[in-house]
Structure 1
Amino acid sequence: MDGTLVDTEPYWMRAEHELVESFGGTWTHADAMLLVGSGLLGSAAILQNRGVNLAAEAIVDLLTTRVQEQLASAGIPWRPGAHELLTELHTAGVPMALVTMSEQRMARQIAGIVGFDAFTTIVSGDMVQQSKPHPESYLTAADELGVDAGHCVAIEDSLPGVAAAVASGAVVVAVPHMVPILPSEHYTVLDTLSGTTLAWLNELYGSRRSALLSPLSSTEVRPTTPKDATRE
């Protein structure tokens, strides 16, 4: 969600800066980058080390509330191509799960502003025991969709998220936002979701699944690059 569908990372960074500063500490951009894609309780531990004298659950609650306030006042900053792809998938009847380490209340806030009932299920950070990069959230989402994770396509923007999706067995598309993600044989990298379509995702899925089913093949069929995007 954060960084993949919507550009809420600046909201999180502002909330973190305000919280650390309220306890007399200093919070830098480099500090904030450490938390991108991480679970909220893990992030809370880092903030405690920076001088925030609150319980981890209280930190998560304060940060989430502050980000939700910014969303309510400034609106949903969609990432390029994200809403268009959601719309096409929804129109085609493709079941979708929103997998995020944010809390359920914030995920539902954003899902409620999409403009249509996009997600069959939402798996949030407060619903799982293990945060990304552990695959629990993706495995849970696939189970709730009634499919094997290997028959899903996961779209992620962060290193922990990509690692979680790959570990689940899903076909993974990485769209890096705040943190660079190097090319790998384990996932496909796009600069943006602009121009990405259901047809392209189907082609990618087919080529990745064929490669997995034919491990001795020396040639992997690769999909063409969607318009306005770069695939590594």
Structure 2
Amino acid sequence: MTTISTATRTLDQGDGRGLQAVLLDMDGTLVDTEDFWWQAEASLFAELGYALDENDRVHLVGGPMSRVIDYLIGATGVDLAPADLTVLINQRFVDLLAGGVPLMPGAERLLNTLAAHGIPAALVSASHRHVIDIVLDSLGSRHFAFSVAGDEVPRTKPHPDPYLEAVRRLGAEPSRCVVVEDAPTGVRSAEAAGCPVIAVPSVAAIEPAPGRLVLSSLEQVDLELLRSLVASRV
């Protein structure tokens, strides 16, 4: 894990019931990169003689790369080693990032709101460190206390490890850290860690559930809403 901000924010201990932090996914949640991943995967497989469709895309969204690679090999039967296919997709994705990364609607406002109220934010992604660092050039590392990458934990999403690591580093309680996600894989990870979840689906559908609020845009997320999700858990 790499610390990417020197800003000091006070973790709220309060009465043991308030919002302590917000943990945010990256691809498809804060930055509009799910289309970039899809372009990388679909264009590569087209060159290899395989046509991927929207049904495949639903299975690919949210990572982690190991699951994506397993699916692609199983669905197409392509004769490539998983490690080689990973390198090819990652490189094509990185090439697409060269022109900059568009933020999702409401992302900058949300991050600025958290900073203005001294609420720590952590970036928790299934993407690997080198990809996160490239995206942060557009997203802005100043917004985050730190980031957790998919290749920096024993098990990445959908396992709870990434979010539990973020909670541990913050010295917080899972039930007082709201997670914002866009994909079912990430939602399962956050809920397994014991965090309340705001889901803003990007490609695959996500249904509401106890402790999970499904919204259509980050523009609907404000401080009052974040605090209410934590309050409802106690």
Distance 1:90 1:55 in 2: 44
1:122 equivalent to 2:140? Answer no
1:159 equivalent to 2:189? Answer no
Which of residues 91, 101, 125 in structure 2 aligns to 1:65? 91
1:186 equivalent to 2:218? Answer no
Distance 1:160 1:114 in 2: 22
1:131 equivalent to 2:140? Answer no
SS in 2 for 1:34: helix
My pick for the range that moved more, 87-96 or 158-167, is: 87-96
Contact 2:103 2:139 in 1 (8 A): no
Report % sequence identity. 38
Opposite residue 94 of structure 2, the aligned amino acid is Q
1:116 deviates by: 5.2
1:52 equivalent to 2:78? Answer yes
Equivalent residues in 2 for 1:60-209 (5 A)?
60-73=86-99, 75-115=100-140, 117-206=142-231, 208-209=232-233
Distance 1:181 1:86 in 2: 23
* Uncovered stretches (5+) of structure 1, i.e. residues with no partner: 211-232
SS in 2 for 1:173: strand
1:61-111 alpha-carbon deviations (Å, 9 max, x no partner): 3222222221222x2221111111011112322221111111111112222
Distance 1:28 1:98 in 2: 30
- When normalised by structure 2's length, the TM-score is 0.82
- Is the alpha carbon distance of 1:186 and 1:102 closer, same or farther for their aligned partners in structure 2, counting shifts above 3 Å? same
Contact 1:64 1:103 in 2 (8 A): no
Contact 2:63 2:127 in 1 (8 A): no
1:182 deviates by: 1.2
* Uncovered stretches (5+) of structure 2, i.e. residues with no partner: 1-25
1:124 deviates by: 1.4
1:55 deviates by: 2.6
SS in 2 for 1:112: helix
1:169 deviates by: 0.6
Contact 1:36 1:158 in 2 (8 A): yes
Distance 2:54 2:220 in 1: 31
Distance 1:141 1:152 in 2: 10
Distance 1:32 1:21 in 2: 14
The higher relative CO (CA closer than 8 Å, separation ≥ 6) is in 2
Q: Show structure 1 runs of 4+ deviating over 4 A.
A: none
Contact 1:95 1:120 in 2 (8 A): yes
Contact 1:111 1:118 in 2 (8 A): no
Equivalent residues in 2 for 1:21-32 (5 A)?
21-32=46-57
My pick for the range that moved more, 53-62 or 175-184, is: 53-62
